[in-house]
Structure 1
């Protein structure tokens, strides 16, 4: 039941919100995503923090955590590639001004980052790593 409530809240925030989110709303939404995706994929705090520090040497749990995050954002297509159009729409309509420019740049840089499309977790990992490498200081995934 908790996951359903979190999913519905995230869906509302990311899809149905007509105004841009504030930084506080984004922070809360990212926390919710992490709270759902981390236990679901058994990713450790150390793994997630390592990705935030540029260590992308992850096991399956860490990679599948990123798939969960990107899927909850509705950024993964069924063919395990980045849904560029949904991502751009979400950023343009709902991202706080503080991350909008860097997020658009990252999406443009990473639209073809998924190379291992036969595996959804590896593909998501490749996309998330590309987003990080595009601008480590502005990395915005949870």
Structure 2
């Protein structure tokens, strides 16, 4: 059996977004259901892109599609915890980006969960990959971390 990796710390991430958990985020076992982790990853990254003018979900010629995703769970989270999502970029290609996201419970320094997903920048109608424009690259390059 492979040795489990040590969870990341807040200092390993470049930008942060905080949100409160909802009552409905708990499952029958009394902790946050695993599907909520993925929703938090997606919400944190897409809100960051929208707020910085890189993604226009209603009228932009280009959109981002998720093509791969994964998550490791380290500790439980539950309502009414506050969750901070730390975001970093592990790889930035010509039309794809691999985000890594750490979810931190309340004020804790060690991630309760860590995930990744890969976005591909595509033309809204054709769904064919499109190279990142200058604005997207300028936003994402500072988030790159060493492999």
TM-score, normalised on structure 1?
A: 0.27
Q: Which has the higher strand share?
A: 2
Which structure shows the bigger proportion of residues in helix conformation?
1
